[in-house]
Structure 1
Amino acid sequence: MNFDLSPREKELSKKGRDFCDQVLLPLEAVTDEHGELPMERREAVRQQVRDWGLAGINHSRENGGLGLTMVEQTAIEEQLGRVTNGLWSCVWRPPVSLKFGTETQKHDYLIPSSHGHRRGAFAITEPEAGSDPRRVKTSARLKNGQWHLTGEKWFVTSYNASDFVIVHAHVDDDPDKPTLFLVDKPVNNMVHLRSPKFMHNFAFDHAELRFEGTTVGEDKMLGKIGQGLELTKDWFVEARLQIASHAVGAATRAAEIANDYATSRHQFDRPIRDFQGVEFMLADMAVEIFAAKSMLYRVAWEIDQGLDRKRVHAHASALKLYCSEAAGRVIDKALQVLGGRGYMRENPVERLYRDIRVDRIWEGTSEIQRVVVAGQIRKRGIGVFSEVAWA
């Protein structure tokens, strides 16, 4: 088996690294200082994404994207993951669910989103509904040719960078009818309650919204009635792979910084890497990255090969679980190697330490990933994970 990236994949990886280093890394300090990327900087960054040829990396050319394979996307995303403060989100990925829209919806939402002229936020989580989407209370009722949405949503990521919201609601309050709706901003009776602060700073906000009978036309339903959870699952697979990619990139940057510091920092007349306590931490970090990266590209390759959908879902859960937790261990060790310097906000490792913690929570907690993995073992046997999964 050939585990080497192709020349094209290596080229995309380098482009992702160069874009991260030249465009995103210089924005880290100002983003951390302001809590998010300042509004006056955003359009320039959007244009740079277009100029670098990174617009719509997760969609087909037909839908305005770049038509990249999953391995090619992963090669870019891994490098973007090196940046702190969630600035990787400046390179937009229109929600995968949009590709299941009507031709009109693709024309109005997906293609402009791929080009960076529109952006959508995703609203599913609620005060009483997180890991269990059947507890969603937001309802959708059809009256006189209009859908009326009522409910409250939390953690609507990138709300203040978006001009429309994809809302997950239950038609007629029926949890067996989860359905997605496209809501343009601004719209009457959609209230922005607040954008709370979190442990990490992020390029854009995470809003809390309330829908008070918000009306949208029948043509704004995305997919069919009852199809919302199925479309969301497809988005989860992509999102989990993206998180794993960023986790590997973040862990790699932290390890590089720690390795350089352990070489240049001298105590007791020798580099601190000469002390076994430090050397062993570097070794453990390298092994964690080696395992995580191998797993990451295997799952990306499996998706490109058309692996069974259920197995892909299971492997994506295992991948997100391992990479997010491994990255946490790597970055924790990197901070320890750096000592007090690693604890300073001006140090990228300190920011990575704050950033990486959410990766064990959003798009499915570590515990939910274990439920998915265990469920697949129960239904299909341990071979789902122990055997080579040829397509």
Structure 2
Amino acid sequence: MNFEFTPRLKELSARGRQFCDEVLVPLEQIADEHGELPMDRRDAVKDQVRAWGLAGINHSKEHGGLGLTMLEQTAIEEQLGRVTNGLWSCVWRPPVSLKFGTSQQIKDYLLPSCAGHRRGCFAITEEGAGSDPRQVKTTAVLKNGNWHLNGEKWFVTSYNASDFIIVHAHVDNDPDKPTLFLVDKPAQNLVHLRSPKFMHNFAFDHAELRFDDVTVPEDRMLGKVGQGFELTKDWFVETRLQIASHALGAAIRATELANDYATSRHQFGRAIRDFQGVEFMLADMAVEIFATKTMLYRIAWEIDNGLDRKQIHAHASALKLHSSEMAGRVIDKALQILGGRGYMRENPVERLYRDIRVDRIWEGTSEIQRVVVAGQIRKRGLAVFSDWM
């Protein structure tokens, strides 16, 4: 069993880190002070993504992407996770569900999205529907060859960086008919209610939208009626690996900064790392990172090798749970080692501390991940997690 990175993986990892450090890190404080990446900076960053060969990292070459394996994507994503303010989202990853579109939809949406000429955001969450998407109240009714969408959506991430929306609605108000629709911006009767501020700052906004009888052509339905959950299953696995990768990258950066500070900071005549209280924190941080990295790359390997889809879903939930909570513990310790300086907004650790909290919430809360893991143990036995399949 060979765990060594191939030359290709090493090259992608190095490219991801260099891009992060040279292109994204210089934008961190600008984005933090502005609340998001300023509009006048966005096109230049897009050009850089293309120039560095990072456009469409999660799609096949046939669909305009880079054709990377999950291991290769993970090697890049881990390094992008080092940056604060969600600037990793500047490296676009078109929604996986687009690959299930018609040939015309792939031409109109997926191909230009991989090239960075279009961008889509995903609208599923509502005031009363989060972990339980069956509670979605947004409806889609077919009338005279057009779909009519009505409802409100919350937390539509990257709305102000997107020119189309993938909307999750229930056809005929039937929760057994969850269906996806492609809505181009601007759309008549689509109302941007607000883009609220959050604990962390992010490259783009998280909008609240209202669909007041928004008309969508019949051929803008993505997939078939009732396939809304099925078309997003692979997306949830992918996003959970992305979150885990970013959490790992954030934890590593925070630990590097804390380790350097513990060496250079002297009190009572010696480096603070020489005090056992600090030394043990660094040791615990390193062990958490080591365990998470091993878990992350194992699951990426499982995806590339076509392991059972249900098993991969279970492992991705376990990974998302562990990595998001690990990063919170590690970054908290890093801030403690840095002391007052770690509490300053100009310090990356302070921004990482704010950024990482949402990872225990979005794309499935920690509690939902525990439900998935426990359910798999109940149905399939502990071997799903305890054996090497």
TM range (shorter): over 0.9
Alpha-carbon distance, 1:233 to partner: 1.8
Query: Which amino acid in the other structure matches residue 76 of structure 2?
Result: I
Alpha-carbon distance, 1:182 to partner: 0.2
Alpha-carbon distance, 1:234 to partner: 1.5
The secondary structure found in structure 2 opposite 1:176 is coil
Q: Name the count of aligned residue pairs.
A: 389
Give per-residue Cα distances to partners, 1:281-328, cap 9 Å, x unaligned: 000000000000000000000000001111111000000000000010
1:369 and 2:369 aligned: yes
The secondary structure found in structure 2 opposite 1:228 is coil
Partner of 2:255: 255
Give per-residue Cα distances to partners, 1:156-184, cap 9 Å, x unaligned: 00000000000000000000000000000
Q: Separation in 1 of the partners of 2:142 and 2:133?
A: 21
Partner of 2:156: 156
Partner of 2:127: 127
Query: Identity of paired residues, percent?
Result: 82
Q: Separation in 2 of the partners of 1:284 and 1:382?
A: 27
Partner of 2:142: 142
The secondary structure found in structure 1 opposite 2:175 is coil
1:299 and 2:299 aligned: yes
Q: Separation in 2 of the partners of 1:296 and 1:286?
A: 15
The secondary structure found in structure 2 opposite 1:212 is strand
Give per-residue Cα distances to partners, 1:79-124, cap 9 Å, x unaligned: 0000000000000000000000000000000010000000000000
Partner of 2:283: 283
Partner of 1:337: 337
Q: Separation in 2 of the partners of 1:322 and 1:255?
A: 17
Q: Separation in 1 of the partners of 2:286 and 2:104?
A: 48
The secondary structure found in structure 2 opposite 1:192 is strand
Q: Separation in 2 of the partners of 1:37 and 1:150?
A: 31
Alpha-carbon distance, 1:334 to partner: 0.1
Alpha-carbon distance, 1:231 to partner: 1.1
Partner of 1:59: 59
The secondary structure found in structure 1 opposite 2:229 is helix
Q: Separation in 1 of the partners of 2:235 and 2:74?
A: 15
Cα RMSD (Å) of the superposition? 0.4
Matches within 5 A, 1:340-359: 340-359=340-359
Partner of 2:212: 212
Q: Separation in 2 of the partners of 1:58 and 1:125?
A: 23
Q: Separation in 2 of the partners of 1:372 and 1:232?
A: 16
Partner of 1:324: 324
Q: Separation in 2 of the partners of 1:220 and 1:312?
A: 30
Give per-residue Cα distances to partners, 1:184-209, cap 9 Å, x unaligned: 00000110000000000000000000
1:178 and 2:178 aligned: yes
**Worse overlay, 226-235 or 295-304:** 226-235
Matches within 5 A, 1:30-109: 30-109=30-109
Q: Separation in 2 of the partners of 1:179 and 1:213?
A: 16
Matches within 5 A, 1:111-122: 111-122=111-122
The secondary structure found in structure 1 opposite 2:49 is helix
Query: Which amino acid in the other structure matches residue 17 of structure 2?
Result: R
TM score, norm. by length of structure 2 = 1.00
Partner of 1:166: 166
Q: Separation in 1 of the partners of 2:149 and 2:314?
A: 33
Q: Separation in 1 of the partners of 2:327 and 2:31?
A: 22
Alpha-carbon distance, 1:384 to partner: 0.5
Q: Separation in 1 of the partners of 2:91 and 2:6?
A: 23
Query: Which amino acid in the other structure matches residue 276 of structure 2?
Result: Q
The secondary structure found in structure 2 opposite 1:2 is coil
The secondary structure found in structure 2 opposite 1:193 is strand
1:310 and 2:310 aligned: yes
Alpha-carbon distance, 1:232 to partner: 1.6
Q: Separation in 1 of the partners of 2:372 and 2:214?
A: 34
**Runs (4+) of structure 1 moved beyond 4 Å?**
none
Q: Separation in 2 of the partners of 1:387 and 1:213?
A: 51
Give per-residue Cα distances to partners, 1:48-95, cap 9 Å, x unaligned: 000000000000000000000000000000000000000000000000
Q: Separation in 1 of the partners of 2:52 and 2:291?
A: 31
The secondary structure found in structure 2 opposite 1:200 is coil
Q: Separation in 1 of the partners of 2:111 and 2:314?
A: 30
Unmatched 5+ residue regions in structure 1?
none
**Worse overlay, 254-263 or 223-232:** 223-232
Query: Which amino acid in the other structure matches residue 269 of structure 2?
Result: D
TM score, norm. by length of structure 1 = 0.99
Query: Which amino acid in the other structure matches residue 121 of structure 1?
Result: C
Q: Separation in 1 of the partners of 2:258 and 2:38?
A: 30
